[in-house]
Homo-oligomer: A and B are copies of this chain.
């Protein structure tokens, strides 16, 4: 699971270190690489490992070959995505197109979002984090929003009822 936020310098060769704890998540992947694409709804990159990209692929495949939405997503996601291999010290080289989309210069911020992560330019992310945190605090005072969130009750029930799910969680690295 990708969690935590950290900033890393982007050097003159456009190389950036992928956080070590992210690399640990990808340890069992076939390629020792990440997949990244410029996100269609904002100035940031979205990425992850093999599972991440295959989820998009599965979503698109389920729509069928002739579905317009599927065709859009094929181009917007798969068409724009890149596979970036790690060098021996855990860095990747960001293609110019991705750097420009996210407006990255000097420093890039990696934000863990569970099964995927985002890459923002550092200043933008710092501002966004403050904003999101305040929004979260506000949400908690609205009973309707709190109810939508649920409060973890589902999973507790699920795990209680299902040894299989419990084992899955224990196996880790999801």
When the two chains form the complex, which single residue of B31, B80, B154, B159 contacts A4, counting CB atoms closer than 8 Å? B80
From A63, A71, A134, A155, residue with most partner B Cβ within 10 Å: A155
Residue pair A139, B30 in contact (C-beta under 8 Å): no
When the two chains form the complex, which single residue of B3, B30, B60, B154 contacts A169, counting CB atoms closer than 8 Å? B30
Residue pair A79, B129 in contact (C-beta under 8 Å): yes
When the two chains form the complex, which single residue of B3, B63, B140, B171 contacts A148, counting CB atoms closer than 8 Å? B63
Q: Is the interface of A mostly helix, strand, loop or mixed?
A: helix
User: How far apart sit A78 and B136, CA to CA, in the bound complex (Å)?
Assistant: 12
- State how many copies of this chain the complex holds: 2
Residue pair A4, B79 in contact (C-beta under 8 Å): yes
Residue pair B69, A152 in contact (C-beta under 8 Å): no
Residue pair A156, B53 in contact (C-beta under 8 Å): no
User: How far apart sit A160 and B75, CA to CA, in the bound complex (Å)?
Assistant: 28
Which A residues lie at the B interface, using CB under 8 A? 1-5, 21, 28-31, 35, 40-41, 50-51, 53-63, 69, 71-83, 111-115, 128-129, 132-137, 139-140, 145, 148-152, 154-157, 159-161, 169-173
Q: List 13 A-B contacts (CB under 8 A).
A: A1-B57, A3-B83, A4-B80, A4-B82, A5-B80, A28-B170, A30-B171, A51-B155, A63-B149, A69-B148, A78-B112, A79-B111, A115-B152
